[in-house]
C-alpha cells in the first residue's frame, strides 16, 4: 500500500464512518484520558491517549503485516495533532 493510500484511508476513517459512530474525537479522547487517569492514579491527557494508541498500533505491526495497523496509526497520530491544535 502506498503512503498516499494509507493517509487517504486514515483520513476517511477519522472523518467518515468512525466519526459518525464514535462522535467528537476530542471528547472521546478526553473521556478515555479520564478513565485511564483514574485507573493509573495519575493524569493522562487526551493527546497522550492518541500517542499511546499509536504505540499499540506499532506494536501490532511486529506480529505480522496488516495495512490496518498502519492506517490506524496514521489516524491516531493525526487525531493527536488535531487535539494539540496543530
Q: Is 43 exposed, middle or buried (0-12, 13-18, 19+ CB in 10 A)?
A: exposed
| Mean pLDDT score, 47-64 | 94
| Mean pLDDT score, 73-85 | 94
Cα 81 to chain centroid, rounded: 10
Q: 38: pLDDT confidence band, cut at 50, 70 and 90?
A: very high
| Mean pLDDT score, 2-23 | 86
Contacts of 29 by beta carbon, 8 Å cutoff, 6+ apart: 46, 47, 49, 50, 79, 83
Amino acid at each position: 500500500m502506498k503512503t498516499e493510500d494509507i493517509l487517504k484511508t486514515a483520513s476517511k476513517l477519522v472523518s467518515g464512518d468512525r466519526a459518525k459512530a464514535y462522535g467528537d474525537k476530542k471528547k472521546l479522547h478526553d473521556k478515555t484520558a479520564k478513565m485511564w487517569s483514574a485507573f493509573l492514579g495519575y493524569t493522562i491527557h487526551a493527546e497522550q491517549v492518541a500517542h499511546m494508541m499509536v504505540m499499540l498500533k506499532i506494536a501490532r505491526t511486529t506480529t505480522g503485516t496488516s495495512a490496518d495497523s498502519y492506517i490506524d496509526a496514521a489516524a491516531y497520530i493525526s487525531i493527536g495533532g488535531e487535539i494539540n491544535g496543530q
